Amino acid sequence: MRRRSILTAGAIAVAVTVYVSTTHAAVLDLTTHDSWGTINNAIFQQYSAGPGGTGNIDSFLRIQGMGVQEGYNTDGTVEFDTMASFTHSIQLADVPIVTNGGGDYREFLLDINQNGQNILSVDEIRIALWDTGDLDGDDGGYSYIFDSPIYDLDAGEDNWIKLDYALNTGTGGSGAGDMLAYIPDSLFTGSETQYVYLYTKFGVNSVADDGFEEWAYGVDGPIIPEPATIALLGLGTLFVLRRKRR
């Protein structure tokens, strides 16, 4: 298993706008460079530092469709809009751990690809653990695993994330990555040999336009603020942070 540490060190953190309501969806806006925020204790950060070109990231789930598209990774028969030739199971040991402010997170990378409309919504992310890697529709794969996920973007509220594909077109677009997701490691209570299932849906609030979206392992992404600072930045305040990498 890969592990790295992140501690805070001298950079300006960009505060993001998070719209929260008790009756409406909470929107995490990541349409500016290096913007970030939290939803249900997970950290999401805009990312545009990766190499360009398809194949430069080690993806385990690829989805393609028009309008609303969804899918999850498996070695079994794929469902929904999942592309079988670019999708496979992963074990927990495959997903790198990052340490930030004393807390451990599992790091995932999302790469989006739009063919005309740059804005895309990430409307659902659910993560589950299971003992085998080939669950599919014949097993009731989606409902069987994701009725009680260990992480749910929509837990307690209808949340979604707003991304801008144009932010990364200068670094090659496809294969460069657009968002890093840090999911608390404390949620992954199974063994390192268990299989990680990630279900995701795009395009409900801002439609997908036939480009493919893919999830991959973390890539040793940007430094992020400590959790205590995250709560303050969520209020829309700009802070100067100190950080150091080790």
Q: What is the pLDDT of residues 161-173, one digit of tens each?
A: 999 998 876 544 5
How much of the chain, in percent, has pLDDT values that exceed 90? 52
pLDDT at 242 exceeding the cut of 70: no
pLDDT at 144 exceeding the cut of 90: no
Q: Which one, of 69, 22, 49, 7, lies nearest residue 180 by Cα?
A: 49
CA distance 244 to 246: 7
The reported pLDDT for the residue numbered 189 is 93
Structural contact between residues 52 and 174, judged by C-beta atoms closer than 8 angstroms: yes
Q: Name the burial class of residue 39, with classes exposed (0-12), middle (13-18) and buried (19+) by CB atoms within 10 angstroms of its CB.
A: buried
The model carries a pTM of 0.81
pLDDT band for position 175 (cuts 50, 70, 90):
low
Place of tokens 């993560």: 127
pLDDT at 246 exceeding the cut of 80: no
Place of tokens 């409406």: 24
Structural contact between residues 89 and 73, judged by C-beta atoms closer than 8 angstroms: yes
